[in-house]
Structure 1
């Protein structure tokens, strides 16, 4: 398999050089559209994260990691193997998919990087997901710039949206996730920015159950962030975004205040922006709400040609719930 030579890597990386000057040291250094779908390279502080989307021999993996390390000048390069079936294999082949030690250079178990000047903890060797989904950077910037008083951040992961809402002046923020570990990680991110992070703002449990519970309690939010996985298994069954997103929107709409907003994200290359919009409209209709798109985003500039991520902001009617 043809692997890009070091001069090509240097040229590609140079296109992102301005990001560090703008206070962003966590970004996609090389995207798959620039490597014929073979690999991507993420930069996080002084660590590199090399994601493989095609099978390489051990020798080719080593060669590519070495080339990336030499081209970037980073301290270490970590490897993520991402076959199509990775979402199913993640729990049974975790160390093969995401080796805990770098394949090139020095170990960096934890680094602190910046996104628009905001610090985040990144763990390059910890898992397939290292702490921040960089393609959603424009959406997080939007939340920080337009944060209302009350924000609900669902599928919060390490709480990047909640943190940006807090930095943007939101008064009440609830972060919901099914993993205690990532919520604790989110509290670490809050602490890096000197923000108060009481346990009551980090809600552990199933998002669908929490949305129903918040509705029964009569809680309402001016902004609800929906950032679910495209596929997931749980005790409740299998979640497929292309089939189930409307149901999620319906539950979320029930806790959106009159005139509030839903920030909906979908990471699924097989769903078009128009189809995604129809899902959202369908979900709103199920609860008697209406609204319209007030903003759209895609992945950031470091994802040239990417079509996987759809982000739509819907402003809802004033009729209430």
Structure 2
């Protein structure tokens, strides 16, 4: 068993600096067995190996013994979890805590910004904490008064960061009305207006085509798609389809604008990912320069799954 209190102590600077949603133990620190995330006083234990009921209970109790933890939620993450999530949701993500008190909703902070977290709602709890450095980049670099398009928005963390950074217009696009409404709740926590017109429900590819036809152009386009998804247009796979997505994004990026391209596909190398983005930009007839590479925060030591780059377009 890893020394959980020692791992938590290494992250003490995060809550001290106003971040209360973060990874307390990464898989590289637990032999690949589990990961532990904290969100306020809720702990989320993600298992990457099959354990007995007794082993699960003992591990949950050890997490619950950490200072400030009121309840522990369990996520079982077998390799096939992304495919099974819709048919075995309660098995993979039990809605109630496996230790301690229920925390159906928690308001946790990232660099002082509040986010609504639902520890028992799904395999995803409302914020991907590994992308914290990416959201910080958006907030620090969004053009004052600029236009931002946040695709695959989920609960709109990138969009909120852009709005807090001074963007004039932010459009969040997602195929789920539920997560867009969740995003509007996040905006409200920061006292920002969240008109329905800024939360676009529907397929991202269709919206990119629609925005192109309308002549809409954006100073920053955020691309953060899932690694794998099924939709009415077929199966999406990052390793096969990202260049096409980058091309569509380039068409709606204003001259001198930027594209933040992100993937969380662990099996895709950074070099291969960058080649796909470059190919997509070229397909759209745009020249792009890679300005900076970004990755997961320091609470994800040794992480290789998250890769991101900021591209400046001509």
Q: Trace 1:226-265 onto structure 2 (pairs within 5 A).
A: 226-265=223-262
Give 3-state SS (helix, strand or coil) of 1:250's partner: helix
Give the Cα separation in 2 of the matches to 1:56 and 1:119.
34
TM-score by structure 2 length?
0.99
Match of 1:313 among 302, 305, 310: 310
Shift in Å, 1:71:
2.4
Encode CA deviations 1:260-298: one digit per residue, 9 max, x unaligned. Answer: 000000001111111111000100011110111111111
Give the Cα separation in 2 of the matches to 1:65 and 1:24.
23
Give the Cα separation in 2 of the matches to 1:217 and 1:57.
56
Decide whether the 8 Å contact of 1:13 with 1:72 is kept in 2: no
CA RMSD of aligned residues (A): 0.6
TM-score by structure 1 length?
0.96
Match of 1:28 among 23, 28, 46: 23
Give 3-state SS (helix, strand or coil) of 2:260's partner: strand
Give the Cα separation in 1 of the matches to 2:67 and 2:228.
33
The unaligned stretches of length 5 or more in structure 2 are none
1:207 has 2:225 as partner: no
Q: Trace 1:41-190 onto structure 2 (pairs within 5 A).
A: 41-148=36-143, 149-190=146-187
Encode CA deviations 1:120-161: one digit per residue, 9 max, x unaligned. Answer: 000000000000000000000000001121000000000000
1:194 has 2:198 as partner: no
Deviates more, 1:231-240 or 1:179-188: 231-240
Give the Cα separation in 2 of the matches to 1:259 and 1:72.
48
Shift in Å, 1:72:
3.7
The answer for the alignment partner of 1:291 in structure 2 is 288
Encode CA deviations 1:221-242: one digit per residue, 9 max, x unaligned. Answer: 0000000000011111100000
Give the Cα separation in 2 of the matches to 1:295 and 1:186.
27
Encode CA deviations 1:67-125: one digit per residue, 9 max, x unaligned. Answer: 01102430000000000000110000000000000000000000000000000000000
Give the Cα separation in 1 of the matches to 2:126 and 2:184.
12
Runs of 4+ deviating beyond 2 Å: none
Match of 2:220 among 220, 223, 229: 223
Give the Cα separation in 2 of the matches to 1:300 and 1:140.
11
Number of aligned residues? 312
Give the Cα separation in 1 of the matches to 2:69 and 2:193.
33
Encode CA deviations 1:214-260: one digit per residue, 9 max, x unaligned. Answer: 00000000000000000011111100000000000000000000010
Give 3-state SS (helix, strand or coil) of 2:311's partner: strand
Give the Cα separation in 2 of the matches to 1:72 and 1:107.
17
Give the Cα separation in 2 of the matches to 1:22 and 1:294.
28
